């Protein structure tokens, strides 16, 4: 009996039978833009080998004006078709299937030539779009159909027409962006005309034996979005126009509701997909925050969808499906939905990868080949850097001993998992525990390695991590002052009025921890939806309601010295969520502060270089979150004894350390030992 009978059941699409119900959703990785087609092919082939039923590529522009950014990849001619054939052939040789996403960005295209149904600028783009005339509309439809035809020529098994997320097709559908009075605007019938014409023309050129997925926006999460009646009307019409599968799209890019971040409940939008079940005759796919086989299985078993889409989980682990099928689900590297190495990279123009799997999108460059000569390796410190170094070294055949002075491995990850909305970090620590045990690593917990313990190893890796930085504020040794370690790791009592000193990632995390009263809303989807203002689209157009956050458990002031808006340097795609979450809880954020002293009344500050505006931030407790310093005692002691060691992670460079950099450094070191 299969451990996941629904997830692993085949799906008959008529001309083709998919082996299971798992789709790898589209991700823009910036890989195609490298034009290193061998690398692109290897990325997809690795996922095909891992058993996923069908993959969708990153969005391919149908023309220059529809590209997400200037130079965005697309299929523009014979050369491109030949390049893409390298990818499709490699995927087919690996036993997989792949569809190409055609993405016309509409007014989200980052260029002055961007086009839209009406000339209304998006709040997230500097470019007002050019209003399409009749000929312009025909050109867009023809270009989309042509690129679908080229996809078939290039050997793809299908296309996904991107109709959601606020891109061009979606823009035609709603009055928020479509103010036209001709046959492409006004009534819903008219507003549907563009996406329907696209689907009809695509089906016409690709023929019947070709998968056509339509990504439909089930919940726009913007004012004047679609009602659910309209969504159902569109879904049926798209089916009639020739689509073979409907995939779920949630939220426009400009929506002020998180839709895929780690604080979104698991499968947090499957309830919307469920509403469509039974309303159409073609399979329906659920999406967003489905990241384990258990979650996928229950989405299907509960009748929310016919298939599940997961995207980032396939960056974290290309073998997701194979491991699930073989009853090895606990070995699947978990996507923690942090966005740190995937979307944050994509939106910074860098190639995507994964915090937990630095090989993602680097398959041809970072390899874990068997070591020519197995050696004895000591790793000191079982935080992210040390753990990854130990795992990769063991995988390559080295004998690894891992020393950790705490009673549980995980290092700083153990503090992250205490933060409401960061529960996924628990799964990451658990995964490391499983993998360390399976790899046969000699794990020594509660063991502080000394220089003499390390003599006799062929290689020593020092990953001793970080310690909180001393901010040297007069009065900081008082009983009403705590460090973030006291709060998160030791459960110290915190008063009702709190000043949090330092507004980096940890200052924000601590503030979120302190304002949360009971359980994390991430674990209570209804509460989460109320907090962010997500409504049923049957009752509220676009699913938009007024946010109703719970009152804060504490009154928190968050401070930093830099004279800028706190939180500006947080993750590119997630920083706004942290800032909005704290604003909803009434957290006061102050930049440009000088910390003068702490006394029984709280924190005394002044502002600016000339120390003006003396102010008392009244606080029962002051929590210090002022960054970290490297712990290098062991590294220095080894150096004094003439023992050469590799120093990685926070012990190497503490500034702006995060798990992504630590894991990457650990993996790359162990890959070459
Ligand atoms: P951080 O991001 O470097 O922030 C340290 C904070 O302390 C800053 O606000 C800094 O701002 C302040 N500070 C630095 N030196 C100070 C001093 N001598 N006196 C007073 N204030 C001082 O470090 P962190 O918050 O400890 O986070 C550590 C790492 O973990 C970060 O790199 C971060 O990426 C990662 N992390 C990320 C997340 C996330 O959500 N992505 C969450 C948690 C942690 P001023 O200098 O302006 O005062
Ligand atoms: Fe998931 Fe984070 Fe990896 Fe992206 S970087 S795939 S969100 S774990």
Q: Whose CA is nearest to atom 1 of ligand 2?
A: 335
Domain check: are 445 and 497 in the same one?
Answer: no
Looking at the structure, tell me whether residues 215 and 330 fall in a common domain: yes
Instruction: Assess whether pLDDT exceeds 90 at residue 655.
Output: no
CA 16 to chain CA mean position, Å = 31
Same domain, 291 and 407: no
Residue 533 is predicted with a pLDDT of 97
**CA gap 465, 405 in Å, rounded:** 11
The number of angstroms, rounded, from the C-alpha of 173 to the middle of its chain's C-alpha atoms is 27
Asked whether residue 360 is assigned to any structural domain, the reply reads no
Distance 506 CA to ligand 1 centre (A): 6
Q: Calculate mean pLDDT across residues 603-630.
A: 97
Residue 1 has pLDDT above 90, yes or no: no
The reply to whether 621 falls in a domain is yes
User: Which ligand 1 atom is nearest residue 560's CA?
Assistant: 48
Distance CA 494, CA 418 (A): 15
Q: Is the pLDDT of residue 583 over 90?
A: yes
Closest-lying ligand to the alpha carbon of 510?
1
Q: Minimal CA–CA distance to 452: which of 375, 380, 388, 374?
A: 380
Structure token pair of residue 175: 């009055």
Nearest CA to ligand 1 atom 46: 561
| 239-257 mean pLDDT | 97
Q: Give catalytic residue positions.
A: 167
Claim to verify: residue 614 and residue 651 sit in the same structural domain: no
* pLDDT reading at 482 higher than 80: yes
Decide if 579 is inside a domain. yes
Ligand 2 pocket, Cβ-based, cut-off 6 angstroms: 312, 315-316, 335-342, 354-356
Q: What is the pLDDT of residue 656?
A: 76
Same domain, 328 and 305: yes
Out of 350, 355, 421, 426, mutate this one to test ligand 2's pocket (max ligand atoms within 8 Å of CB): namely 355
Q: Does an H or E element contain 89, and which?
A: helix 78-93
In a domain, 366, yes or no: no
The rounded Å distance from CA 628 to ligand 1 centre is 8
pLDDT at residue 129 is higher than 90: yes
pLDDT interval class at 154 (50, 70, 90): very high
Q: Mean pLDDT score of the chain, rounded to an integer?
A: 97
Question: Would residue 362 count as lying in a domain?
Answer: no
Owner of token pair 């989405």:
299
Query: Which residues fall within 8 angstroms of residue 297, CB to CB, at 6 or more apart?
Result: 4, 5, 6, 7
- CA 341 to ligand 2 center in whole angstroms: 6
* Start-to-end CA span in the chain (Å): 42
Confidence band, pLDDT 50/70/90 cuts, at residue 657: confident
Identify the nearest ligand to the CA of 476 by its number.
Answer: 1
Kindly report, residue by residue over 485-510, the tens digit of the pLDDT. 999 999 999 999 999 999 999 999 99
In a domain, 534, yes or no: no
Ligand 2 atom with least separation from CA of 339: 7
pLDDT in tens, 171-197: 999 999 999 999 999 999 999 999 999
- Structural domain including 444 reads 376-467+629-672
What whole-number distance in Å separates Cα of residue 553 and Cα of residue 585? Answer: 9
Of the residues 304, 330, 346, the one at which a domain ends? 346
Q: Is the pLDDT of residue 78 over 90?
A: no
Same domain, 118 and 214: yes
Mean pLDDT of 557-579: 94
To which H or E segment does residue 615 belong? strand 612-618
Residues 240, 319 within the same domain: yes
Q: Which of 320, 343, 347, 483 is nearest to 72 (CA)?
A: 347
Check if 628 has its Cβ closer than 6 Å to any atom of ligand 1: yes
The residue contributing the CA closest to ligand 2 atom 3 is: 354
Closest C-alpha residue for ligand 2 atom 8: 335
Q: How confident is the model at residue 481 (pLDDT cuts 50, 70, 90)?
A: very high
Q: Is residue 544 in some structural domain? A: no
**Separation CA 55–CA 23 (nearest Å):** 6
Instruction: Give the atom of ligand 1 at the shortest distance from the alpha carbon of 564.
Output: 47
Domain identity same for 460 and 484: no
Q: Is the dihedral of CA 248, 254, 259, 262 positive or negative?
A: positive
Residues 310 and 173 in one domain: yes
Of 502, 578, 650, the residue with max ligand 1 atoms within 8 A of its CB, to mutate for a pocket test, comes to 502
Q: Give domain status of residue 540, yes or no.
A: no
Nearest CA to ligand 1 atom 34: 658
- Closest ligand to residue 313's CA: 2
Say yes or no: CB of residue 504 within 6 Å of ligand 1: yes
Same domain, 71 and 92: yes
Give yes or no for residue 471 CB within 6 A of ligand 1. Answer: yes
- 3-state SS class at 137: helix
CA–centroid distance for 612 within its chain: 42
- Determine if ligand 1 sits within 6 Å of the CB of residue 561: yes
User: Which neighbouring-strand residues pair with 540?
Assistant: none
- pLDDT at residue 658 greater than cutoff 90: no
- Ligand 1 neighbourhood includes 562 CB (under 6 angstroms): yes
CATH number at residue 424: 3.40.50.720
Strands 466-468 and 628-630: antiparallel
Reported as a single tens digit per residue, the pLDDT across 368-396 is: 999 999 999 999 999 999 999 999 999 99
Ligand approaching nearest to the C-alpha of 578: 1
As a whole number, mean pLDDT of residues 231-236 equals 98
Residue 77 confidence (pLDDT): 85
pLDDT one-digit tens code per residue, 426-470: 999 999 999 999 999 999 999 999 999 999 999 999 999 999 999
Euclidean distance between CA atoms 253 and 609, whole angstroms:
39
Check: CB of residue 184 under 8 Å from CB of residue 117.
yes
Same structural domain for residues 64 and 173? yes
Q: Is the pLDDT of residue 9 over 80?
A: yes
- Cα–Cα distance between 490 and 89 in angstroms, integer? 54
CATH number at residue 108: 3.20.20.70
Q: pTM to 2 decimals? A: 0.96
462 and 485 housed in the same domain: no
Res 346 pLDDT > 80: yes
Total number of domains in the chain: 3
Between CA 424 and CA 647 the distance in angstroms is 28
Alpha helix (H) residue ranges in 522-643: 525-532, 575-584, 633-640
Domain boundary among 329, 346, 363: 346
């Amino acid at each position: 009996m299969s451990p996941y009978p629904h997830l692993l059941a085949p799906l008959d699409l008529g001309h083709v039978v998919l082996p299971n119900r798992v789709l790898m959703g589209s991700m823009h990785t910036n890989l195609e833009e490298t034009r290193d087609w061998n690398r692109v092919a290897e990325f997809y082939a690795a996922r095909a080998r891992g058993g996923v039923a069908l993959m969708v590529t990153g969005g391919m522009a149908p023309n220059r004006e529809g590209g997400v950014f200037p130079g965005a990849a697309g299929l523009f001619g014979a050369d491109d078709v030949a390049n893409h054939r390298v990818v499709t052939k490699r995927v087919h040789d690996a036993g997989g299937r792949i569809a190409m996403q055609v993405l016309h960005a509409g007014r989200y295209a980052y260029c002055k030539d961007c086009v839209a149904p009406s000339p209304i600028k998006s709040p997230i783009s500097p470019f007002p779009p050019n209003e399409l005339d009749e000929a312009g509309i025909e050109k867009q439809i023809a270009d989309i159909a042509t690129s679908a035809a080229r996809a078939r020529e290039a050997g793809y098994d299908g296309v996904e027409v991107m109709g959601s997320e606020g891109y061009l097709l979606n823009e035609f559908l709603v009055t928020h962006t479509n103010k036209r009075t001709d046959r492409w605007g006004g009534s819903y019938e008219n507003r549907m005309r563009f996406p329907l014409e696209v689907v009809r023309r695509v089906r016409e050129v690709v023929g019947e034996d070709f998968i056509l997925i339509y990504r439909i926006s089930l919940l726009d999460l913007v004012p004047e979005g679609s009602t659910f009646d309209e969504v159902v009307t569109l879904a049926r019409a798209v089916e009639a126009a020739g689509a073979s599968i409907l995939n779920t799209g949630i939220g426009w890019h400009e929506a002020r509701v998180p839709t895929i971040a780690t604080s979104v409940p698991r499968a947090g939008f499957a309830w919307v997909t469920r509403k469509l079940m039974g309303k159409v005759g073609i399979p329906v796919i659920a999406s967003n925050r489905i990241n384990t086989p258990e979650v996928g299985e229950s989405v299907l078993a509960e009748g929310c969808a016919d298939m599940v889409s997961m995207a980032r989980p396939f960056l974290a682990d290309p073998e997701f499906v194979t491991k699930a099928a073989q009853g090895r689900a606990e070995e699947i590297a978990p996507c923690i939905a942090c966005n740190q190495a995937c979307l944050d990279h994509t939106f910074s123009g860098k190639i995507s990868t994964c915090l937990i799997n630095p090989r993602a999108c680097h398959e041809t460059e970072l390899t874990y080949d068997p070591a020519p000569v197995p050696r004895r390796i000591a790793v000191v410190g079982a935080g992210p850097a040390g753990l990854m170094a130990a795992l990769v070294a063991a995988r390559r055949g080295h004998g690894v001993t891992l020393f950790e002075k705490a009673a549980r491995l995980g290092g700083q990850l153990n503090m992250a998992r205490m933060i409401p909305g960061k529960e996924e970090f628990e799964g990451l620590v658990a995964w490391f525990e499983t993998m360390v045990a399976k790899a046969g690593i000699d794990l020594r917990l509660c063991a502080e390695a000394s220089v003499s313990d390390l003599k006799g190893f062929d290689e020593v890796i020092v990953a001793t991590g970080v310690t909180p930085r001393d901010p040297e504020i007069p009065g900081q040794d008082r009983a009403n002052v705590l460090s973030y370690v006291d709060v998160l790791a030791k459960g110290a009592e915190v008063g009702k009025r709190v000043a949090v000193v330092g507004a980096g990632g940890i200052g924000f995390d601590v503030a979120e921890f302190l304002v949360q009263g009971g359980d994390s809303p991430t674990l209570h989807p209804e509460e989460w939806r109320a907090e962010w203002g997500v409504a049923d689209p049957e009752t509220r157009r676009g699913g938009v309601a007024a946010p109703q956050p719970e009152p804060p458990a504490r009154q928190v002031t968050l401070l930093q010295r830099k004279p800028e808006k706190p939180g500006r340097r947080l993750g590119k795609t997630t920083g706004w969520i942290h800032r909005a979450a704290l604003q909803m809880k009434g957290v006061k954020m102050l930049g440009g502060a000088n910390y003068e002293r702490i006394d029984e009344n709280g924190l005394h500050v002044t502002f600016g270089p000339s120390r003006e505006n003396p102010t008392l931030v009244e606080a029962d407790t002051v929590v210090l979150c002022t960054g970290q310093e490297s712990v290098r005692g062991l590294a220095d002691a080894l150096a004094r004894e003439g023992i050469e060691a590799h120093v990685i992670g926070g012990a190497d460079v503490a500034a702006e350390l995060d798990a992504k950099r630590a894991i990457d450094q650990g993996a790359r070191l162990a890959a070459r030992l």
